[in-house]
Every structure is written in C-alpha cells, then in structure tokens.
Amino acid sequence: MAKDKTIYTCNECGGISPKWLGKCPHCNAWNTLIESVAVAESAVKNRYSASFQALAKTSEITVLADIDATDVDRTPTGHEELDRVLGGGIVAGGVVLIGGDPGIGKSTLLLQALDSLQRAGQNTLYVTGEESGAQVALRSRRLGLERSQVKVMAEIQLEKILATLEAHQPDVAVIDSIQTVYSDQLTSAPGSVAQVRECAAHLTRAAKTSGTAIVLVGHVTKEGALAGPRVLEHMVDTVLYFEGDTHSQFRLVRAIKNRFGAVNEIGVFAMTEKGLKGVSNPSAIFLSQHSEPVPGSCVMVTLEGTRPMLVEIQALVDSGGPSPRRLSVGLDKDRLAMLLAVLHRHAGVACMDQDVFVNAVGGVRISEPAADLAVLLAITSSLRGKPLPKGFIAFGEVGLAGEVRPAPRGQERLKEAAKLGFSVAVVPKANAPKKAIEGMTIHAVDRVEQAMEIVRGSPEVQGGAGKPRLHTASAARSMVSSNS
Ligand code: TYD
Ligand code: MG
C-alpha cells in the first residue's frame, strides 16, 4: 500500500520520481529527492479546492479601513522572560517552534510554562516522544511542580496525536519533539526532512482549525540547515532559538521570527536546581568579573530586540605564523576581517602578522554592527597591552571609509550604561545626547582615528590607579564625583 502512496520530489526543480535516486532525472541535481505523499491525479486538482470553496462562500471583499483591527489575545505563560520573546504570551491557534541544542533546557522550560498555564486555568497537553511519562513526571517533581495537572501523552505517531488533539481540544499543546513524530503515510524514518515537514504541516493545520496553540520542539542537528527545525521556519508563526553556552548557567532564548511580536527579542534564563528562572536584569551577566580593567576588553551596549544590554567584547592579539588566524565567537567573522582592514588603513594599526581572537562574553551572539567600535577598541587595547579605562563603554558602526556611524536608539543605550555605573563613553557623533547624562563623560566621534586618539591620549578618559574596584553603580558614581 505504502508503495503507490509515496513519491520522491526534487527540492530544486519539483520533478517527480517514483523511487529514490541519488541524482534527479529532471535537473541532474544530486541528493535533492525527498519523499512525499503522492496524491492521485484527479485529487491533485481537488486537494484544497473543497476548503477553498468553503472559504470563498464565507469571505467577501472588504475595504481595509472597515476591518476591525483587534489585537490578538495573548495568554501570558507566567514566565516573564518567555512572554517577552513570545510578544506577550501564547496566541490561540498560533504555532511556535522552539529550537536548540540537546540538553539546553527546551523540555524544562516548556514543562514549567505548561504547568503555569494549567494553574491559570488553561487546558494543556504535553506530548512526549523522547521520554516516557515517568521521566516527565520525575522532571516535574524535580522542578517542584507538585500535583501538576498538566496532561501527558507519550506518543510519536502523528495520526494518534491529531486524534487526541481533536478529542481533547487543549488550549495549549507541546510536541516534544517534532523530530520524533512520524506519519504512517510516509516510509522514511522519523526525523527525516520529509517526515518533519509533513508532520509539522498537519499539526499547523490542526492548530489553525481548532484554535489550539501548538509549540513544536526541534533539535538543531549538527548539519544544521536540513533535517533540523530550519525547514519549518516558514510554516510557523513564531520561531524561538535557545542560544548561549550549555556550560554556563545562563540560557538565552531569541525570537528569530514572530508574527505576533518583535524579532530579535531576547529572554534570559538561569538554569538552577529547580529549572529555568528568568533573569530580569541581564546586563551584569555578560560582563566578566575583573576587579581591575584588563587589556583587550571593551564593554558595549547592544540593543537586540527592545532591551539594551551591556556585553563585554574581549580580544586577544598575539603573534601568529605565516598565515595568522582570525577567529570570532559570538560576532561575525567576515566583519572582523573588515574591521581589521579599516583599523590598518585609517588608524594605522597593523595586525597582519598577528592572530586575532574576539569573543562576546557569556555566549551571547551579537549580530548588530553597533559592536564594531567596541571590537576595534578591544583589539587595539590587546595589541598595546593597555587596558581601557575603568567604567568605559563604546558602541557604533564602523564603515569602510573609517567613519563611525550612529547606532539606533543611542540614548537608551547610554542611559542603561549610566544606570549600571559606567562613566566614560565613546559614541558616534549622532548618538551624543543634547543634554548631559549625569555621571557620564561622553566623547562623540565620527572617525575611527578620533576614537583611537581619545583612548590613547585624553587624560579624562584615562582611568587611574586607586580607583574603586568594582563596576558597581555606587563605586562608579563615587569615582565620578571624585573626578569632578
Ligand atoms: P532538557 O530540558 O532536558 O533539555 P532539552 O529538552 O533541550 O534537551 O534539559 C536538561 C538539562 O538541564 C540537563 O542537563 C539537566 C539540567 N537541569 C537542571 O540543571 N535543573 C533542572 O531543574 C532540570 C529539570 C534540568
Ligand atoms: Mg528534551
């Protein structure tokens, strides 16, 4: 039966083959045939027509202005940091994909969220394909979720999951994970692209028709793009990825796509003995705990999403061999090469024969170009073996002509830095505030050379010996008052 039901479709040209081949007979591309469900010729025309006809009857054309733009109803999960990345909470009928490395805390976070939702009166269902019911129960005890009323089902067959969703009509359902679910319709193994795509499509349809909010858990595989959750990104409403270091205590959840909220929003959690706890003021965790400034370290204010955060950029410049290495962790590698060229050409600082390593502390990934200036300052600081002054921050985009361009919402960044006790800032001219910020000396620059000049020469930028030891607000404030 399965034989005449499945066909192989080419990813590249859409050509169809009755059996799997290494090379597509239509476009000659290699490894592009993916199993899919065959639909009879007559049915192809009608596959969706029934539903389209139904739609055509009910919906008439309306002028945009006449449509009531009611905001979608969100149900907060009770975990502030999770709600932040979701754009306020779970949306009925919305599909969320949450991806991340194995063991980073996906199941933990979702179990905690489901329990809070259940306690708030929502009907919840946790479908586990990776663990048994007993294992989930064990985790819930560990999380301190006593007498949790979350419904659990250990099942991996799509048709049975769909039937259960239909029968129980939960408000929120978690499928942990989409890679373990398989459909009877396909012969390929669970976790293959064909299965993942087909199962996710069915579940998404079920969510839209029933109003159940569905959360799909997806593992990011080593190969990344293909069998991983990336193939699902276009189908779902919201895509969240765990990022950060599995070895550190902190976990970041970033919204990559969100039809109901802002993208690039970051939620910060700490993994504790009792599960994930939100960190409401995360700035401090991306700074390393030096008691005195060290060479090669520069703090920047990043604004990924809507919340400004302070992140320390570290650089190490060391003599390299004939082909020196450029490595970056948490920052764009190509951008690093570009910045080194700018540094050489416009500020006369050469690193041709040096290995250059840069790192964003805490496992955070920074995609915005506002990190450029901090990267350059960290590199020169490491090269000269001289630390930047205490309480120093910098941000701004650097262009190929050596110009320093403004970063969006500079005022907010400066205010956040001042709040945390930073007292000296080098920022793009357009970001300099009109009114002085209390306790902060601001240097506005529009060229890379000026920024270098300021940290090299100007006396008020130079941190001194015998200053307070910690980067705390009070310590830095006292430093400012002693200066003035
Ligand atoms: P888990 O949620 O199972 O990860 P995923 O579903 O993403 O694969 O994460 C489990 C990890 O978290 C595991 O290494 C143990 C740790 N952990 C804690 O530190 N504290 C806890 O309370 C729990 C439940 C797990
Ligand atoms: Mg898990």
What's the CA-to-centroid distance between 219 and ligand 2, angstroms?
9
pLDDT digits (tens, 9 = 90+) for 146-175: 889 999 999 999 999 999 999 999 999 999
* Residue 68 counted as domain residue: no
User: 343 and 276, same structural domain?
Assistant: no
Mean pLDDT of 200-211: 93
Q: Cβ distance 145 to 111 under 8 Å?
A: yes
DSSP three-state, residue 263: coil
**Domain range spanning residue 243?**
73-280
DSSP three-state, residue 183: coil
User: 380 and 276, same structural domain?
Assistant: no
Q: Two tokens at 194?
A: 């064909």
> Ligand 1 atom closest to Cα of 139?
24
Cβ of 105 less than 6 Å from ligand 1: yes
* Residue 48 counted as domain residue: no
* Residue 231 counted as domain residue: yes
What's the CA-to-centroid distance between 131 and ligand 2, angstroms?
8
DSSP three-state, residue 314: strand
What's the CA-to-centroid distance between 236 and ligand 2, angstroms?
20
Element (H, E) at 144: none
pLDDT digits (tens, 9 = 90+) for 278-294: 988 787 777 777 778 89
Q: Two tokens at 200?
A: 């996710």
Q: Provide the CB-side half-sphere exposure for 40 (13 A, CA).
A: 3
Of the candidates 98, 99, 44, 91, the residue with the CA atom closest to the CA atom of residue 70: 91
Q: Cβ distance 389 to 310 under 8 Å?
A: no
Strand residue runs (E) in 224-265: 238-243, 250-258
Tell me the ligand closest to 109's alpha carbon.
1
Cα distance between residue 231 and residue 376, in whole Å? 37
What's the CA-to-centroid distance between 210 and ligand 2, angstroms?
26
* Residue 123 counted as domain residue: yes
Cα distance between residue 395 and residue 376, in whole Å? 10
pLDDT digits (tens, 9 = 90+) for 310-324: 999 999 999 888 889
DSSP three-state, residue 429: helix
Alpha helices in 270-426 (DSSP H): 333-347, 372-384, 410-419
Pocket test of ligand 1: the residue of 271, 274, 276 to mutate, having most ligand atoms within 8 Å of its CB, is 271
pLDDT digits (tens, 9 = 90+) for 122-146: 999 999 999 999 999 999 999 999 8
Tell me the ligand closest to 99's alpha carbon.
1
Q: Output 237 or 103, whichever has higher pLDDT.
A: 237
Tell me the ligand closest to 179's alpha carbon.
2
What's the CA-to-centroid distance between 109 and ligand 2, angstroms?
10
Cα distance between residue 113 and residue 378, in whole Å? 40
> Ligand 1 atom closest to Cα of 274?
22
Q: Is the pLDDT of residue 468 over 50?
A: no
Domain stop point among 244, 260, 280: 280
* Residue 45 counted as domain residue: no
What pTM value is reported for the model?
A: 0.77
What residues have a C-beta under 5 A from ligand 2, the ion?
Answer: 107
User: 127 and 270, same structural domain?
Assistant: yes
* Residue 55 counted as domain residue: no
CA dihedral 32, 34, 40, 41 (to 10 degrees): -10
User: 117 and 79, same structural domain?
Assistant: yes
Residue 48: what residue type?
A: Y
Q: How many domains does the structure of the chain reveal?
A: 3
User: 337 and 271, same structural domain?
Assistant: no
Q: Two tokens at 382?
A: 């490491």
Mean pLDDT of the chain: 84
**Cβ neighbours of residue 437 closer than 8 Å, sequence gap 6 or more:** 414, 415, 418
Q: Burial, 385: exposed, middle or buried (Cβ in 10 Å; 0-12, 13-18, 19+)?
A: exposed
Tell me the ligand closest to 111's alpha carbon.
1
**For atom 21 of ligand 1, which residue has the closest CA?**
275
Cβ of 103 less than 6 Å from ligand 1: yes
Element (H, E) at 52: helix 49-58
> Ligand 1 atom closest to Cα of 102?
8
Of the candidates 358, 357, 363, 359, the residue with the CA atom closest to the CA atom of residue 282: 363
Share of the chain above pLDDT 90, in %: 50
User: 387 and 274, same structural domain?
Assistant: no
The CATH number for 137's domain is: 3.40.50.300
The CATH number for 416's domain is: 3.30.230.10
Best mean pLDDT range from 48-57, 66-75, 344-353, 471-480: 344-353
Cβ of 270 less than 6 Å from ligand 1: no
User: 230 and 83, same structural domain?
Assistant: yes
Strands 307-319 and 326-329: unpaired
Strands 424-428 and 441-445: parallel
* Residue 384 counted as domain residue: yes
Q: Two tokens at 318?
A: 């060391």
Q: Burial, 41: exposed, middle or buried (Cβ in 10 Å; 0-12, 13-18, 19+)?
A: exposed
User: 135 and 188, same structural domain?
Assistant: yes
Tell me, what's the pLDDT at 228? 61
User: 87 and 21, same structural domain?
Assistant: no
What's the CA-to-centroid distance between 84 and ligand 1, angstroms?
21
**What sign results for the dihedral spanned by CA atoms 132, 137, 138, 142?**
positive
* Residue 288 counted as domain residue: yes
Domain stop point among 256, 280, 304: 280
User: 182 and 155, same structural domain?
Assistant: yes
User: 448 and 300, same structural domain?
Assistant: yes
Q: Cβ distance 250 to 214 under 8 Å?
A: no
DSSP three-state, residue 9: strand
User: 416 and 298, same structural domain?
Assistant: yes
What's the CA-to-centroid distance between 246 and ligand 1, angstroms?
10
Query: What is the residue-wise DSSP string for 54-112?
Result: HHHHH-----GGGS--PPPPEE--S-HHHHHHHTSSEETT-EEEEEE-TTSSHHHHHHH
pLDDT digits (tens, 9 = 90+) for 263-278: 888 899 999 999 999 9
